[in-house]
Amino acid sequence: MIEQFLRTMMRTTDVVVTGLFSPAAVAAVGLADLYARLPLRIGLGLGSGVIALLSQDTGSGATGNRDEAITQAILLGAVAGLPFVLFGVLFGERAIGVLGAESAVARMGGLYLAIIFATSPARHVALVAARSMQGAGDTRTPMYLNVVSNGLNIVGTLVLGLGLGPAPRLHILGVGIATAFGNVFSALALVAAIRGPWTPAGFVRPRQWTVTKQLLAISAPRIAEGLVTTVLEFPFNSILLVFGTDVNAAYQIGRRVYQQLTSPISRGYRTGTSIVVGQTLGDGDPAGARYNGWAAALLGLLTVGSLGGVIFVGAERIVGLFTDDPSTIGYAAGFARAYALAAPVTILYVVLSGALTSGSDTRTPFVARVSGMAVGMLGVSAVGGIYLDYGMSAVYASIVVFYVWAMIYVAVGYYRGGWVERTRTMMDERGSAPSED
């Protein structure tokens, strides 16, 4: 949670700093961030695959298979980041413009995107390496390293973006440079930690095709989930632009408020649940794994659900920290309240998805999120907001509908328990099943 808080704070700092420039600058970074989520989703997908295999193999004591999965996932992540480097350089500004952004927004967003995409391979490596350590039971080493990385990133954003001290005022260029530096630093530090004696994880020469197939089988739906939902964000942002640039900027701010205050906790619960459920499965205790998943979901509901109430009540004051534009503040408070209302069901969806992932089931969360976003978020906002002319009320409601549906779908999947047998089968295939005394 500490690690995720600092990472989210880094992204929040980007929004705060660009908010000092103009609403157009906020929209530019927000739209560029849509594309930046594509490599992020690949890294998170591979990270989900490796944390599932590693937690199971750690629980069963199959350290050889554990290190095999680490090595293969990091290599796959580095290679998968290369196409984004070319895309950012060649098509950055046009990619922002095609969303319907004004020319100034497209120009600023394209510059930011080109810089961020240049370090996509490093971002993938950092994500996979961190989750490799976590899956092996070490959540402190990646926390320490990422705290330093994100701290440097935040300082760089302030210094280069605002021109503090002797540094030049580089505006969005400075924000992008700081983020790129953080990505590279984090990747190098985490790889060095895996090679060193500080963590139980390690590297080996890749040899087992079975591990490769299982890593891709678990990661592919998670990657697809992230990519498809990211793609669906594009038409949603285009719908927001129909209502105006200030509405789109307000969405970026309202969403950022919710993410800054709740996402570190939610992601921490998801990672912790994946580790505990996966290791319990690896140890041959499916009943204990089921219990751990439900218990983590209840803990998340009590904490994040309560925090949602705080956000709902203080929405105007909180979003006012990001912008002083009256129109943007009003819309941003509406988005923050929509996310706050959805907080209880959102945390249940996140935690149970993490439990399913550690049980080698990434298809159920994929269907839940994609269908919920397509029908709930896009469908309700487009039909209700534009066609039926309910305006922003329908857009706010679409966020709640999305997460309610996603939560119901994953909860049913977790209750049915097909993920337990799937895990047992995959562990047998790669020779990681615990021996019977």
What is the model's pLDDT at position 437? 44
Distant-in-sequence, close-in-space partners of 300: CB < 8 Å, separation ≥ 6: 265, 266, 269, 347, 348, 350, 351
Residue range 16-28, pLDDT digits in tens? 888 788 778 878 8
Residue range 244-302, pLDDT digits in tens? 878 888 888 888 888 878 888 898 899 889 889 988 988 889 999 999 999 999 999 99
What is the model's pLDDT at position 434? 64
Distant-in-sequence, close-in-space partners of 17: CB < 8 Å, separation ≥ 6: 157, 158, 161, 162, 175
Question: pLDDT grade, residue 435 (50/70/90)?
Answer: low
Residue range 106-124, pLDDT digits in tens? 888 889 999 999 999 999 9
437: its two tokens: 């005394």
Q: Hey, what amino acid is at 43?
A: G
Average confidence (pLDDT) over 375-398: 89
Q: Among all chains, which residue has been given the structure tokens 């505990």?
A: 276
125: its two tokens: 């490596």
Question: pLDDT grade, residue 364 (50/70/90)?
Answer: very high
pTM of the model: 0.78
| Distance, CA of 382 to CA of 294 (rounded, Å) | 35
- Of all residues in the chain, the percent with pLDDT exceeding 70 is 99
Mean pLDDT across the chain, nearest whole number? Answer: 87
Residue range 47-89, pLDDT digits in tens? 888 888 888 888 888 777 888 888 998 999 999 999 999 998 8
Average confidence (pLDDT) over 316-327: 83
| Distance, CA of 248 to CA of 242 (rounded, Å) | 9
428: its two tokens: 């047998």
Question: pLDDT grade, residue 355 (50/70/90)?
Answer: very high
Length of the chain: 437
The yes-or-no verdict on residue 436 having pLDDT over 70 is no
Torsion from C-alpha of 198, 203, 204, 205, nearest 10 degrees: -150
The residue ranges of every structural domain in the chain are 2-430
217: its two tokens: 């089988």
What is the model's pLDDT at position 93? 87
Residue range 189-240, pLDDT digits in tens? 999 999 988 887 788 887 878 888 888 888 888 888 888 887 888 888 888 8
The yes-or-no verdict on residue 326 having pLDDT over 70 is yes
